[in-house]
Amino acid sequence: MSEIKKRKTSFINKLRNYFFTGVVVLIPIGITLYFTLFLIGISSKFLPKEINPNHYLPYDIPGVEIVISIFLITFIGWLSLSFIGKKLLDILNNILKRIPILRTIYSALSQMTETFTKDESGKKNVVLIEYPRKGMWAVGFATKDNTGEISTKTKKNLVNVFVPTTPNPTSGFLLMFPKEDVIYLDMTFEEASKFIVSAGTSDPK
């Protein structure tokens, strides 16, 4: 009887191991597929039907909207670096900055984008801070030194730090830390983003 129980226990343990192994394998695949379907859905809504091949074909080609969207974004990026593109962007910026409500949102988003994408030699913005309590650490992005009213009222040299959530780094928290409590890391923005999205399973070099 004891031998039969051992075999049953061993069989159950194997099934349990197989189950958890399947979960580990399917989680990244499932998230990737979900994200891909999400991108396809977003692209198909924003892409005009006049330039969407699926509008003219008898059947839909999955993912064609993403390819076209990537091409259009790349083309806009190339155009914005040209002389004419820069002039057009300046006109668009001036228009958006004159609209009362939109100028606040547009200016804030522009500053945030420039902070994370600008390339300055020797400039570090990936930081390590003690959060949410002492002895626990989190990776964040130092956006800029706080030189406004908050820093004046607290009488401290503060640094604005954006701490993203995992695995969705587009949401997070804006925290202000004394400069002496912020540890600047050598990892790049891309390495830090990959580390956060992978929930710490991807070790930066």
Is residue 168 within 8 A of residue 198, CB to CB? The reply is: no
**Predicted local confidence at residue 84, as pLDDT:** 82
**pLDDT-derived band of residue 46, with 50, 70 and 90 as boundaries?**
low
Give the containing element (helix H, strand E) for 149: helix 149-154
Mean pLDDT of 93-115: 71
Round to whole Å and give the CA distance between 60 and 66.
13
Is residue 141 within 8 A of residue 162, CB to CB? The reply is: yes
Round to whole Å and give the CA distance between 178 and 159.
6
| Bridge partners for 184 per DSSP | 127
- Decide: helix, strand or coil at residue 182: coil
Round to whole Å and give the CA distance between 19 and 33.
20
Mean pLDDT of 96-110: 72
* pLDDT tens digits along 143-161: 888 888 998 899 999 999 9
Round to whole Å and give the CA distance between 150 and 144.
13
- Kindly report which listed range (5-9, 31-35, 138-142) carries the lowest average pLDDT score: 5-9
| Residues with Cβ within 8 Å of residue 62, at least 6 apart in sequence | 40
**Predicted local confidence at residue 73, as pLDDT:** 73
Round to whole Å and give the CA distance between 13 and 19.
10
Whose tokens are 């597929």? That residue is 33
pLDDT above 60 (res 118):
no
Closest C-alpha among 182, 184, 181, 162 to residue 173: 162
Backbone phi, then psi, for 171, in 5-degree steps?
A: -115, 160
- pTM of the full predicted structure? 0.54
* pLDDT tens digits along 48-76: 777 677 667 777 766 676 777 777 778 77
Length of the chain: 205
Mean pLDDT of 171-181: 92
**pLDDT-derived band of residue 125, with 50, 70 and 90 as boundaries?**
confident
pLDDT above 80 (res 13):
no
| Residues with Cβ within 8 Å of residue 181, at least 6 apart in sequence | 129, 130
